[in-house]
Structure 1
Amino acid sequence: MQIDKAVIAITGGARGLGLAMAHLLGEKGARLALLDRDREPLDQAVDTLRDKGVDARAFDMDVADEMSVREAFAAIARDLGPVQGLVNNAGITRDGLMVKAREGKVEKTLSLADWQQVIDVNLTGVFLCGREAASQMIEAGNGGVIVNISSISRAGNMGQSNYAAAKAGVAALTVTWAKEYARYGIRVGGVAPGFIETEMTASMRPEMLEKITRGVPLGQLGQPDDIAFSVAFIFENDYYTGRILECDGGLRI
């Protein structure tokens, strides 16, 4: 896919990995639709990109709300034209053991609220945005590319039942959509980041972060740009579809 002049939507585009993707894709000439719930950081991200000559616009959206997603994608099509690319990047964590016990007595369990919120954002949000983007691509008749952000945690990770289940679902959706949409000229790929230096990892306890870093064969956390390069590779490689690209410094959970 030719990134230059392509309309590409990025969920969770106001910060972290999403903003790094926006910078790289914008430098390659993409016309960007940044989607996020929080308006202030979203506007700040757009201003930063525009200062660098990138064509970027902000769209309020809650990825877990069907009407919000439909309205946002309709606004993108109205203001920029139908999307030609989508990065399903928005995600949250609500970590916790399924059951925490001491001396045979259960002290705490993972709440249904924490389970549901992660599933709603990290999996249902991908479903809703992917459906809207694919619909626009099919009706426009020019194909397109969808990139879903999964995680190495999709293989299962202690303390992340909700997150791991959602990211495994994202990987499964990637393969399923690639098979369904190929007839329309739409490719679907995924990126599974390892531990990357973002606000999410910065909030971890220092001793836990140090332990994780020691476990990475390359001996360091990844950078947001590493994931952005992976996303750009999928956009630009016209024979890549239905696969998950792992970018984790050699770490396997």
Structure 2
Amino acid sequence: MQLQDKVIIITGGGQGLGRAMAEHLAARGARLALVDLNQERLDEAVAACMAAGSEVRAYLCNVAQEDQVVDMVTRVADDFGAIHGLVNNAGILRDGLLLKVRDGEISKLSLAQWQSVIDVNLTGVFLCTREVAAKMVERKNEGVIVNISSISRAGNIGQTNYSAAKAGVAAATVVWARELARYGIRVAGVAPGFIETEMTASMKPEALEKMTAGIPLKRMGRPQEIAHSVAYLFENDYYTGRILELDGGLRV
């Protein structure tokens, strides 16, 4: 699919990886619907993408809320007249060990920590994909859905909730690719490793050094490299039902 003038929704598009993807796709001529919960960040991202010459609109939406997702997708389709793509990027972290024992006292990963991550990182992907795919079929728009998974889908200590959600996203990607191909809809995913974001920038230098030492390329990935990969998945018409790993050679 050529990106010029294609309408693409990016969840979590106001910051971090989402904003990097937005700016990259905007520079390639895509028309963008940026979805986030932070209006200030959305406004900044919209301004940056418009500077690249793209048509961009902002939408406040909690992807874990069904009614909000249904309304957002309907508004995007009405505002732009079509939907050709979706990047399921919105996600949160609520890390913690399943159990922690200190001085004989046992603390547990809370149900709230578990459920909040599942709600956004897995249920949100389901809701957005379902509604966008339905709108594509309704309007007879062929398109592409890109899901952001993670190498943590293989299991990462302290991330029971996040690993489970990202594994679910990877599995669903294969299922949806097979189910939606008949409608001209491809579904693929990207599994980033450790990427230079605001979250990693706040880590202690010694922790960053230890993390980077385990990566064969000896550096973290850059947001622009993830954005480049997402553009590739949109443009390669034979890529579907697979997860593109982008981790510098790291396996967890």
Q: Fold-level match, TM-score > 0.5?
A: yes
Q: TM-score, normalised by structure 1?
A: 0.97
Give matches, 1:197-236, under 5 Å: 197-236=196-235
Deviation at 1:202, TM superposition (A): 2.0
Can you list the C-alpha shifts for 1:191-233, whole angstroms capped at 9, x where unaligned?
A: 0000000112223333222111000000000000110011011
C-alpha separation in 2, matches of 1:68 and 1:200: 27
The answer on 1:240 being equivalent to 2:235 is no
Contact 1:99 1:106 in 2 (8 A): no
1:13 and 1:56 map into 2 onto residues whose CA distance is 11
Alpha-carbon distance in 1 for matches of 2:55, 2:141? 21
Tell me by how many angstroms 1:2 deviates: 1.4
- Which residue of the partner structure matches residue 184 of structure 1? 183
Counterpart contact for 2:23–2:48, Cα < 8 Å: no
Separation in structure 2 between the aligned mates of residue 152 and residue 142 of structure 1, nearest angstrom: 31
Cα displacement (A) at 1:22:
0.6
Map of 1:131-210 to 2, 5 A cutoff?
131-210=130-209
Residue 53 of structure 2 corresponds to residue 49 of structure 1: no
Residue 51 of structure 1, CA deviation: 2.1
Q: State the superposition RMSD in angstroms.
A: 1.0
Contact 2:6 2:85 in 1 (8 A): yes
Write the deviation string for residues 53-79 of structure 1: whole angstroms up to 9, x where unpaired.
221110111000001111111110111
CA distance, structure 1, for counterparts of residue 242 and residue 59 of structure 2: 29
**How many residue pairs end up in the alignment?**
252
Provide the C-alpha distance between the structure 1 equivalents of 2:241 and 2:67, rounded to a whole number of angstroms: 28
In the other structure, the counterpart of 1:252 is 251
Which sections of structure 2, spanning at least 5 residues, go unmatched?
none
Q: How much identity, in percent, do the aligned residues show?
A: 64
Deviation string 1:26-74 (CA, Å, 9 cap, x unpaired) is: 1111000000011111011101211222211101110000011111111
Most deviating of 148-157 and 201-210: 201-210
**Runs ≥4 in structure 1, deviation > 6 angstroms?**
none
